[in-house]
């Protein structure tokens, strides 16, 4: 069997119709090995490109992404079912991260440390070949968050996109080559996780892994990386709390709560999928939330006013539905109301609000990764923090209050990597992003993004 065909093929399906529209070849282990070899061979020359030239090349790649933005967005709409406006934002985010990373190349400063008998300086040395494994929920941005800073720091990259969504990453690699990125510096290899992904984890020449996906697989990636003491960055699951205090702007908190959880049909690791509401305003909040949820426009992602598209696959729809059976909800939790969704072909699911007075029920503790949110009352600040932190995850969260002191106290007390006060913002390319507890390890983005793709080397020069 040839290297190209040993991983079989995969039919890419449009989630809004359920119909396959193209077929992609999957890399097997031999193809991964060959790509890693090419990446390792390309590394010394890429590392030695003068910083200003490396920055210029990355800016060219960003410009190529920008020129292809509509096309990239169309691919994302087709393979992931994202509304067009969201997909355009995602392609723009890829461009922006590349530009931001390009600007960091010439500012990745080392230290000069006072010591006796000489001078001491540090260098940020690139690691070599970086393996990047991305999920299907935000294929373009998540690829960019690793590829931009990894290349900027002088590494070469082999990227394995999720089987379900390989097209935008393949196009990105094509654009990068056309923009002048040398051969072998960025390679994209669609393939199955347990074949191509696993091989990246095991390959001794891959010096760092960036994995985004489920906590279960992330745990295996970390264990596999341990064998060669590979560096890892893990962006895993979440079950984030949206804490609404009685002193907040309740109208705004309720009106925006759907954005905080139903964006990308809830298939978002930062989804605020647990709304915790102070008991004194619980019923009023629900009254305000109902029209907001019913107003979410779930529609064909190509329609200009669509706010939410379908789920990614039939399997994901089944998984999400599994959280709402009588057996799964148990005696205390119940569906309060739902929004609407198209009928018929496509993996549609209605935005769904579940009352969960007991915060320990399954739907309120496990990552649903669909448009399902629970609402749980709390008594006071300490109770809110206790419930928010009673989770194995710690990725993001929101705090709604008009009391600045409380906003700061609760921001410090909630165990999560990314919090927003009176908003649901999580990811900006200029600020660090990542989780605590089982939501992950390490940070992406922000002013220190390149540090995650380098090791610090210390050099002492004697002056005696």
The mark string for 249-288 relative to ligand NDP (x by CB under 6 A, - otherwise) is: --------------------x-------------------
Minimal CA–CA distance to 158: which of 187, 134, 179, 135?
187
Q: Min. distance of Cβ 123 from ligand NDP in angstroms? A: 31
Q: How far apart are CA 142 and CA 170, in angstroms?
A: 14
Which letter does DSSP use for residue 454 in this model? E
DSSP-derived pairing of the beta strands 206-212 and 231-235:
parallel
Neighbours of 389 (CB within 10 A): 15
Q: Which stretch binds ligand NDP (CB under 6 A): 107-115, 173-181, 212-220, 330-338?
A: 212-220
Known active-site residue 235: yes
Is there binding between residue 355 and ligand NDP (CB under 6 A)? no
Residue 290 half-sphere exposure toward CB, CA atoms < 13 A: 9
Q: Which stretch binds ligand NDP (CB under 6 A): 55-63, 70-78, 155-163, 251-259?
A: 155-163
Minimal CA–CA distance to 372: which of 387, 388, 361?
361
Is there binding between residue 389 and ligand NDP (CB under 6 A)? no
Is there binding between residue 137 and ligand NDP (CB under 6 A)? yes
Please tell me which residue in 76, 90, 235, 438 is annotated as part of the active site.
235
Q: Among all chains, which residue has been given the structure tokens 């706010």? A: 307
Q: Cα dihedral sign for 273, 278, 281, 283?
A: positive
> Of 84 and 316, which CB lies nearer to ligand NDP in the complex structure?
316
Token representation of residue 413: 């007390």
Q: How far apart are CA 297 and CA 83, in angstroms?
A: 11
**Among residues 213, 339, 351, 359, the one that binds ligand NDP under rule CB under 6 A:** 213
Q: Compute φ and ψ for 302, nearest 5 degrees.
A: -80, -15
Q: Among all chains, which residue has been given the structure tokens 């200009």? A: 304
Q: Compute φ and ψ for 126, nearest 5 degrees.
A: -65, 160
Is there binding between residue 198 and ligand NDP (CB under 6 A)? yes
Is there binding between residue 369 and ligand NDP (CB under 6 A)? yes
Q: Which stretch binds ligand NDP (CB under 6 A): 62-70, 197-205, 257-265, 289-297?
A: 197-205
Q: Footprint of ligand NDP on residues 306-345 (CB under 6 A)? A: 319
The mark string for 225-254 relative to ligand NDP (x by CB under 6 A, - otherwise) is: -----------xx-----------------
Is there binding between residue 135 and ligand NDP (CB under 6 A)? yes
Q: How far apart are CA 199 and CA 87, in angstroms?
A: 30
Is there binding between residue 294 and ligand NDP (CB under 6 A)? no
Is there binding between residue 76 and ligand NDP (CB under 6 A)? no
Q: Cα dihedral sign for 416, 417, 423, 424?
A: negative
Is there binding between residue 435 and ligand NDP (CB under 6 A)? no
Is there binding between residue 193 and ligand NDP (CB under 6 A)? yes
Is there binding between residue 409 and ligand NDP (CB under 6 A)? no
Q: How far apart are CA 380 and CA 243, in angstroms?
A: 11
> Of 237 and 309, which CB lies nearer to ligand NDP in the complex structure?
237
Q: Cα dihedral sign for 299, 314, 132, 438?
A: positive
Q: Which stretch binds ligand NDP (CB under 6 A): 34-42, 44-52, 186-194, 300-308?
A: 186-194
413, 257 Cβ separation under 8 angstroms: no
Instruction: Please count the helices (runs of H) and the strands (runs of E) in the chain.
Output: 15, 18
Is there binding between residue 47 and ligand NDP (CB under 6 A)? no
Q: Which stretch binds ligand NDP (CB under 6 A): 66-74, 113-121, 156-164, 303-311?
A: 156-164
Minimal CA–CA distance to 260: which of 213, 221, 218, 292?
292
Q: Min. distance of Cβ 136 from ligand NDP in angstroms? A: 6
Positions that interact with ligand NDP (CB under 6 A): 133-137, 160, 162-163, 192-194, 197-198, 201, 212-214, 217, 220-221, 236-237, 269, 319, 367, 369
Q: What positions carry a catalytic annotation?
A: 235
């Amino acid at each position: 069997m040839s290297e190209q065909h040993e991983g079989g093929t995969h039919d890419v399906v449009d989630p809004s119709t359920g119909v396959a529209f193209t077929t992609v070849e999957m890399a097997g282990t031999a193809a991964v090995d060959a790509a890693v070899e090419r990446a390792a061979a390309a590394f010394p020359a890429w590392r030695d490109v003068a910083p200003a030239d490396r920055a210029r090349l990355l800016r060219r790649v960003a410009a190529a992404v920008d020129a292809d933005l509509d096309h990239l967005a169309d691919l994302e709409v087709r393979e992931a079912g994202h509304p067009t406006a969201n997909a355009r934002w995602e392609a723009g985010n890829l461009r922006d991260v590349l530009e931001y990373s390009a600007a960091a190349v010439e500012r990745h400063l080392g230290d000069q440390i006072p010591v006796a008998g000489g001078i001491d300086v540090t260098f940020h040395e690139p690691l070599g070949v970086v393996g990047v494994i991305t999920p299907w929920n935000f294929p373009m941005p998540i690829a960019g968050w690793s590829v931009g800073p990894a290349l900027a720091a002088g590494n070469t990259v082999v990227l394995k996109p999720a089987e379900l969504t390989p097209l935008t990453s393949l196009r990105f690699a094509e654009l990068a080559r056309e923009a002048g990125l040398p051969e072998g510096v960025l390679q994209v290899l669609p393939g199955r996780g347990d074949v191509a992904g696993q091989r990246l984890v095991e390959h001794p020449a891959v010096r760092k892994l960036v994995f985004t996906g489920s906590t279960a697989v992330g745990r295996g990636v970390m264990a596999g990386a341990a064998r060669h003491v590979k560096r890892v960055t893990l962006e895993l699951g979440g079950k984030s709390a949206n804490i609404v205090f009685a002193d907040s702007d309740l109208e705004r908190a309720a009106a925006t709560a759907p954005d905080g959880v139903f964006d990308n049909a809830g298939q978002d690791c930062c989804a605020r999928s647990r709304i915790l509401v102070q008991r004194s305003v619980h019923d009023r909040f629900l009254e305000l939330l109902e029209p907001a949820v019913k107003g979410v426009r779930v529609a064909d992602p190509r329609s200009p006013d669509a706010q939410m598209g379908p789920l990614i696959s039939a399997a994901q729809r089944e998984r999400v539905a599994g959280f709402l059976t009588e057996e799964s909800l148990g005696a205390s939790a119940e569906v309060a109301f739902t929004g609407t969704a198209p009928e018929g072909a496509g993996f549609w699911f209605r935005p769904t609000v579940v009352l969960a007075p007991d915060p320990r029920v399954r739907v309120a503790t496990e990552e649903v990764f669909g448009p399902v949110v629970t609402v749980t009352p709390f008594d006071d600040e300490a109770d809110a923090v206790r419930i928010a932190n009673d989770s194995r995850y710690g990725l993001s969260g929101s705090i709604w209050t008009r009391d600045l002191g409380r906003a700061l106290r609760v921001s410090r007390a909630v165990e999560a990597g990314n919090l927003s006060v009176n908003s649901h913002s999580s990811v900006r390319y200029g600020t660090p992003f990542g989780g605590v507890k089982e939501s992950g390890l390490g940070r992406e983005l922000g002013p220190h993004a390149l540090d995650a793709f380098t090791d610090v080397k210390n050099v002492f020069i004697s002056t005696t």
